Amino acid sequence: MVFMSDDNFQKTVVVLFGALGDLAQRKLMPALYQLHKAGLLKEGCQILGLSREAGSTEQFQEKCAASLKRFLSKADHQAEVIASFLQRLTYLSLDFNHAEGYEGITKWLAASPHESLILYYATPASLYAPISTHLHTLGAISKRTRVVVEKPIGHDHQSSTLINDQLAKHFTESQIYRIDHYLGKETVQNLIALRFANSLFESQWNHNHISHVEITVAEAVGIEGRWGYFDKAGQLRDMVQNHLIQLLCLIAMDPPSDLSADSIRDEKVKVLKALKPLSAEQMAMYLVRGRYAKGICDGQVVPGYLEEEGANQDSSTETFVAFKAEIANWRWAGVPFYMRTGKRLPEKLSQIVIHFKPAAHYLFDQDQKHIAHNKLIIRLQPDEGISLQVLTKDQGLDKGMRLRQGPLSLNFSETYKASRVSDAYERLLWEVIKGNQYLFVRRDEVEYAWRWVDKLIDGWEASGIMPKKYPAGSWGPASAITLIARDGRYWHEDV
Ligand code: BG6
C-alpha cells in the first residue's frame, strides 16, 4: 500500500520556479496557504520562490499577500494566519537558463533543514531541462527530491517524449508528479468511490447495461488574454488530451486491485490502449471543431475568437471540439462515448451522463418509449452532485400508467454542509508532500493520450476543413448536435 498516514509525512521544503506567474499566484499560493492554515505544513516547511524579476523577499511576501487577498474567500482570509504563512516565504531572482545564481538555491537549502525537497516547475516545459541540469550540477537533486510539472507536456507525442526524457535524466518516474488538475478535484476522485464502493453501479457498468456515455466540459469564459498560448494549442490539446481523456479513463477503467498509484494508473493505461482511432470517414461524421464568433455570454456582448486581443486572422485553431470515441474492449464494445468541450459556451459545466439501456421488454405507452431509460448524471462542477434519473408512475387518477422521469439526487454541498470543498491544487500539493502519486499522470498515460490525439490532429489537418463558427453563448456548432443525433440521441440538456 502506498498511502502514508496523514501524520507520517516528512519535513518538506518547496522550491517554486515561476513564483510570480499566474499559476503560482492564483492557485499555488492560496493552496499552500490553505495547507498551512489546516496545520498540514510542518514547522520549518519553507518555500523559496524563484523568478526572473528582481525583487526582495519582502516584496515577494507583499505580492503574495495581495494575491491571497484577491483569490481567497473572506472566510479563509485570516490576517494572523496570513502573517505566519508569509514567514515561510523567501524570494530569489534567477534567470533559469543560466548557471549563475543557482548556488543561491543550494545555500538556501543548506540553511533550511529538510527531509524531502519539492521542486515545482511552474514554467514553460522548455525550461525543465535547463533547470534540472543546473540543479543536478550543483548536487541539489537527490533521491529525496520530487519534481512537479504542469500540463501541457508537449504539443504532440514526439515533443512529450522529449520532455519526459529530459526529466528522466535526473528523476526516476516515482519522483515525477505530472499535474492534471482535474484529478485533484474532489468530485473527480469521487468517481472512483462511486464506481467501486457501490456494487449497484459496478454490476451495471458495461455494454450489457449502458447504451452510451456523454462527457461535457463547458466553459463560459473565452481565452482570457492567453491568445499566444491558446492559438498554438487549441481546445483539443488544451483540454481533451488531458482533462477529458482522464475523465474518460476514470469512467471506463476496470476496477484496480487496490488504490495504489500504479494499480490505478495501470488500469487507465489499458483504456488508453483500447481507445479506437477514428478513421477518415468517421472523422468526417463524428468529429466537430468549432470557433466562437461574437455573441452574448452572461448577458454581455463578447467578441469572437478572431476579435480577441492579439488575434491572428489566419488562425485555424478550434475553441470547441466534439467527437465520438469508442473503446475496443470487452466491457465497452459498441458503447459510444460522446465528448465535447468548448470555450464561450452558455455556462461553466463539467458533467458526465451515463445512459442505461431501456428494459428488455417495454410495457408502457409507445409515445413515452424515448424517455424510458435510466440516466446517471455526475455533476463535477459547479453544484457538485450525483443524480440518478428513475422512472415512476405519474400521480393522479387520470394518469393511468403514464411514466414520469425524476431524480434521486445527492447534492454534495447541501448534504455535506459542514465540509469545505478543497481546491484541486490543495489536494494535489498535499499528495506531493505525502509522496502519493495516484492523482498524477504517469509517463505512459501522457504518451498514449498524445498518440490518440495526434491521429485526430493529423486527420483534420489533412482534410483542410476549417473550424465551424458558433455564436458565443451557444452550445457550439450545429454539427455537434448532428453528431449525436445521427445515432438517434441528443445531448442531455437538449431534452
Ligand atoms: C486548463 C486549461 O488546464 O483548464 C484552461 O488550460 C481551462 O484553458 C482550465 O480554462 C479549466 O479548468 P477548470 O478547473 O476551471 O475547469
Which among 26, 181, 223, 247 is the best mutation to test ligand 1's pocket, defined by most ligand atoms within 8 Å of the CB?
181
Q: Which numbered atom of ligand 1 lies nearest the CA of 221?
A: 10
Q: Kindly state the cell numbers that stand for 271.
A: 483504456
| Shortest-distance Cα residue to atom 10 of ligand 1 | 219
- Residues 38 and 34: their CA atoms lie apart, in Å, by 6
Question: Rounded to two decimals, what is the model's pTM?
Answer: 0.94
3-state SS, the chain, equals: CCCCCCCCCCCEEEEEECCCCHHHHHHHHHHHHHHHHCCCCCCCCCEEEEECCCCCHHHHHHHHHHHHHHHCCCCCCCHHHHHHHHCCEEEEECCCCCCCCCHHHHHHHHHCCCCEEEEEECCCHHHHHHHHHHHHHCCCCCCCEEEEECCCCCCCHHHHHHHHHHHHCCCCHHHEEECCHHHHCHHHHHHHHHHHHCHHHHCCCCCCCEEEEEEEEECCCCCCCCHHHHHHHHHHHHHHHHHHHHHHHHHHCCCCCCCCHHHHHHHHHHHHHHECCCCHHHHHHHEEEEEEECEEECCEEECCHHHCCCCCCCCCCCCEEEEEECECCCCCCCCCEEEEEECCCCCCEEEEEEEECCCCCCCCCHHHHHHCCCEEEEEEECCCEEEEEEEEECCCHHHCCCEEEEEEEEEHHHHCCCCCCCCHHHHHHHHHHHCCCCCCCCHHHHHHHHHHHHHHHHHHHHHCCCCEEEECCCCCCHHHHHHHHCCCCCCHHHC
Rounded to an integer, what is the distance from CA 359 to the centroid of its chain?
35
Report the topology of domain 12-150.
Answer: Rossmann fold (3.40.50)
Q: Domain residues of the chain, as ranges?
A: 12-150, 183-420+465-494
Report the topology of domain 183-420+465-494.
Answer: Dihydrodipicolinate Reductase; domain 2 (3.30.360)
Is there an atom of ligand 1 within 6 Å of 318 CB? no
Is there an atom of ligand 1 within 6 Å of 423 CB? no
Please give the positions annotated as active site: 243
* CB count in 10 Å sphere of residue 193: 9
Tell me the backbone φ, ψ of residue 250, rounded to 5 degrees: -70, -30
Is there an atom of ligand 1 within 6 Å of 150 CB? no
Q: Which numbered atom of ligand 1 lies nearest the CA of 233?
A: 6
Per-residue pLDDT of the chain (495 residues; tens, 9 = 90+): 334 444 456 789 999 999 999 999 999 999 999 999 999 998 889 999 999 999 999 999 999 999 999 999 999 999 999 999 999 999 999 999 999 999 999 999 999 999 999 999 999 999 999 999 999 999 999 999 999 999 989 999 999 999 999 999 999 999 999 999 999 998 888 899 999 999 989 899 999 999 999 999 999 999 888 888 899 999 999 999 999 999 999 999 999 999 999 999 999 999 999 999 998 888 989 999 999 999 999 889 999 999 998 899 999 999 999 999 999 999 999 999 999 999 999 999 999 999 999 999 999 999 999 888 999 999 998 888 899 999 999 988 888 889 998 999 888 777 777 677 889 999 999 999 999 999 999 999 999 999 999 999 999 888 888 999 999 999 999 999 999 999 999 999 744
- Residues 126 and 232: their CA atoms lie apart, in Å, by 15
